[in-house]
Amino acid sequence: MPIEGDYEPSKWDWVADQAALYEASGGTEANTLRDTGLPIIVMTTVGHRSGKVRKVPLMKVEHEGEYAIVASKGGAPANPGWYHNLVADPNVMIQDGPEPFDCVVRLVTGDERATWWERSVAAFSPYAEYEVKAGDREIPVFIASPV
């Protein structure tokens, strides 16, 4: 069941621009984190307060068709705003290539989180630094599974 409704782009221009270009090009453009060459995906959620459709580029951490959704916020002391969207409604869309597809997310803990955290750091090494910067906050890791 696709996510539909009023789309409200990110207030951060680079986020809004990347999501729009990625989507418009079917994933052939704006498909890396700025100039790093590291691949990204675009996740679509529904705002937990606004009810607006939201799109955010995230690092691509994929394993056997599932995706890690890492709520790092660069190691900030608080979770990113979209974290609350996932807690309120686990139904998301992931775009990893030409077309978005429906997924359901779940927060992972314990050994499963540790395994996905390792995969995440392997895909994007700054996550290790973010973990240190986050201090007492354990960075949440969700797994998006296609429906």
The span from the CA of 39 to the CA of 63, in Å, is 14
The total number of structural domains in the chain stands at 1
pLDDT of residue 34: 81
In a domain, 3, yes or no: no
Amino acid at 119: R
pLDDT at 1: 72
Per-residue CA distances from 33 to 29, 39, 126, 130 (Å): 11, 6, 12, 16
Read off the tokens for 129.
Answer: 């630094």
User: Residue 116 in 3-state DSSP?
Assistant: helix
The pLDDT tens digits for 76-135 are: 999 999 999 999 999 999 999 999 999 999 999 999 999 999 999 999 999 999 999 999
Domain-embedded: residue 95: yes
Judge whether 1 lies within some domain: no
Question: Which residues form the domain of 128?
Answer: 13-146
User: For the whole model, what pTM was predicted?
Assistant: 0.95
